Structure formats: C-alpha cells, structure tokens
C-alpha cells in the first residue's frame, strides 16, 4: 500500500500510512493538494498557484496565503524536505507534487485503465475481454463524480478546472458503461446489462 492514498471520486479522502488526514487548515489547502496531485507531472509557478486559489487578493497577500497553505499541507501529511521522498517539492519559484513519491490516486488509476483500453489493439472495445475487464475496474473506482460536493467560493478558475475534469471523467465512465451494457446484452445477461 502506498503511504499516501487519495480518493477524489464521490468525496475527497486523504490517508497517510492508513491514517485518515482531516486536519487541513482550510478548504483552499485541500484544493491545493488536489490540484498538485492531479497535475503532478509538471511543476507549477508559485504566482500561478496563488492566482488560481486566491484570485481576489493582492499578489503579495496571495503568495503569503500560498506559503501558509503549503506549510499546512506539509504538517498535515507529515512531510518534510528531509524525507527520503517528500510529497511536495517546493523551491523559491515552483511547487510540484513529487512524481517519485508513493501515491495511490483513484482518478489516476481510472485514467490509466482508460488509457490502456484506448491504446490496446482490438477491433471493438465492446468485444475485447481484457478491455472489458479494465472497464469493470474503472467503474469500481468510479464511486461518484470527481470531487462531488467539494467547492469553495472565491476561485472561478479552480471551479472551472474541477468542472472540466469532472465532465471528462464522467464521459469516460459513461463510455465504459455503454460498452459493458452492450457486451452483457449480446450475451443475454440482462441483469448485468442493467
């Protein structure tokens, strides 16, 4: 089991080494964590993160809020620069969730399964048993919409990012459902198709 486990489908849940983490100072600290883990394949400029989550604040105040949120994340996750593989890579200009850190993320698993189906050589996904098994695994992960019920006032950019991710993941889940329903219906397994 990865030391850090984050679920984003249905509700946001964070656990480190099996211990639930709930002591985030603010919803913006949670939002920062979500954004960093989902977009972990690239570093993010501090000013971009500050503008994303604190768009109505003057730049100096937004950057101070970002520093506080990063400090809170480190404390909540038990993270530090001295860790063998810290979760957060922070320098003077950029912040990134460490791509080498041990992380299990339901949305990342879902996307990896969808990508495997997209790149698997088959005539039709609805007839490919390995892809149908991947689709069933995708739907097991998809416990509800991406960050359902998670929002906070004050950042239209973040809300738009969440909405776009939510819609894209929802479409992928519906595609998997359609393929599976078609497969089971053709086999006469109507209960499974429903």
Cα distance between residue 66 and residue 155, in whole Å? 14
Element (H, E) at 53: helix 46-53
Cα distance between residue 192 and residue 185, in whole Å? 8
The gap from C-alpha 176 to its chain's centroid, in whole angstroms, comes to 19
Which residues are CB-contacts of 7 (< 8 A; sequence separation ≥ 6)?
13, 105, 106, 143
Cα distance between residue 14 and residue 32, in whole Å? 13
pLDDT tens per residue across all 194 residues of the chain? 569 999 999 999 999 999 999 989 899 999 999 999 999 999 999 999 999 999 999 999 999 999 999 999 999 999 877 777 899 999 999 999 999 999 999 999 999 999 999 888 867 766 788 889 999 999 999 999 999 988 777 789 999 999 999 999 999 999 999 989 988 888 788 888 78
What's the predicted TM-score (pTM) here?
0.90
Cα distance between residue 181 and residue 36, in whole Å? 35
């Amino acid at each position: 089991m990865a030391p850090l486990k984050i679920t984003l489908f249905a509700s946001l849940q964070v656990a480190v080494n099996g211990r639930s983490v709930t002591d985030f100072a603010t919803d913006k600290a949670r939002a920062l964590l979500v954004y960093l883990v989902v977009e972990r394949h690239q570093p993010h400029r501090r000013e971009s993160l500050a503008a994303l989550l604190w768009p109505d604040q003057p730049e100096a105040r937004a950057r101070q809020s970002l520093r506080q949120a990063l400090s809170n994340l480190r404390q909540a996750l038990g993270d530090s620069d001295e860790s063998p593989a810290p979760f957060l890579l922070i320098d003077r200009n950029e912040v990134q969730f460490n791509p080498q850190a041990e992380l299990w993320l339901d949305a990342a698993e879902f996307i990896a399964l969808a990508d495997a189906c997209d790149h698997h050589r088959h005539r039709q996904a609805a007839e490919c048993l390995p892809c149908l098994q991947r689709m069933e695994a995708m739907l097991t992960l998809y416990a509800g919409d991406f960050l359902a019920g998670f929002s906070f006032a004050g950042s239209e950019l973040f809300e738009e990012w969440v909405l776009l991710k939510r819609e894209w993941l929802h479409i992928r889940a519906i595609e998997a459902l359609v393929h599976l329903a078609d497969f089971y219906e053709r086999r006469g397994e109507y209960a499974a198709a429903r």
